Amino acid sequence: MTRLRLMSYNVGGLRGDLAAMVAVVRAQRPDVVAVQEAPRRLRWRSRCADLARRFQLVYAAGGLPGLGNLLLVDLRVRVHDTWCLRYPLTPGRHMRGAALARCSVGDSTFVVAGTHLATDPAERPRQAEILATALAEVSQPLIVAGDFNEEPGGAAWAAVADGRIDAGDPAGAGGVATYPATGPTQRLDAILVDRRFGVSDCRVVDTPEARRASDHLPVVVDLTLP
């Protein structure tokens, strides 16, 4: 049985306590981290590489091409190919997108997609539709991780979650809030997985370090691969 640990983490543009963030990630020992609000402008390559080094991981995809979405992996994860999506730009708004990677661990192949949807409720559903259309073309077992900027039940969330398991809420009880980190009241961050995966555990990391590191708490899921 092949196991995979994946983390989704909005790092808040690295404006928080970086040492605390590094401690949070290293303590979880993830195989894959889907990062939102990663470096995407000046010196983005070196800054993304530095973040990967601090986390004891390696760069897989994203940064500027993913518009702040970044995928980092452990060396046990083999990356076969990568690609990025860019959602249409609404004038005056923040340009957003997604980073995707086709990976394998042993004989198990899967695709990871990391995204960060808009805060604007008018443009967010369209972004989710574009992502859902792109994901429909993926035949391998799929993991979608990100900051959806709305809670479960919203139109954008539903479009991306259609046909997938909400790893953080298998019982339909609402899950654990992730934002704001200093006193979470909203569940904006999630990991959605293909039904071919087994979900053995999912948790929100709420520690003193996590509350200092970013304005979002990270989500971690343990999977068994088909």
- pTM of the entire predicted model: 0.97
Range of the domain at 76: 2-225
CA dist., res. 44 & res. 68, Å (int): 9
CA dist., res. 188 & res. 157, Å (int): 9
User: Where residue 190 sits, what CATH number does that domain have?
Assistant: 3.60.10.10
Number of domains in the chain: 1
CA dist., res. 140 & res. 100, Å (int): 12
Residue with tokens 């539709």: 129
Polymer length in residues for the chain: 226
Return the closest-CA partner of residue 31 out of 12, 58, 49: 58
Per-residue pLDDT of the chain (226 residues; tens, 9 = 90+): 889 999 999 999 999 999 999 999 999 999 999 999 999 999 999 999 999 999 999 999 999 999 999 999 999 999 999 999 999 998 888 899 999 999 999 999 999 999 999 999 999 999 999 999 999 999 999 999 999 999 999 999 999 999 999 999 875 666 899 999 999 999 999 999 999 999 999 999 999 999 999 999 999 999 998 8
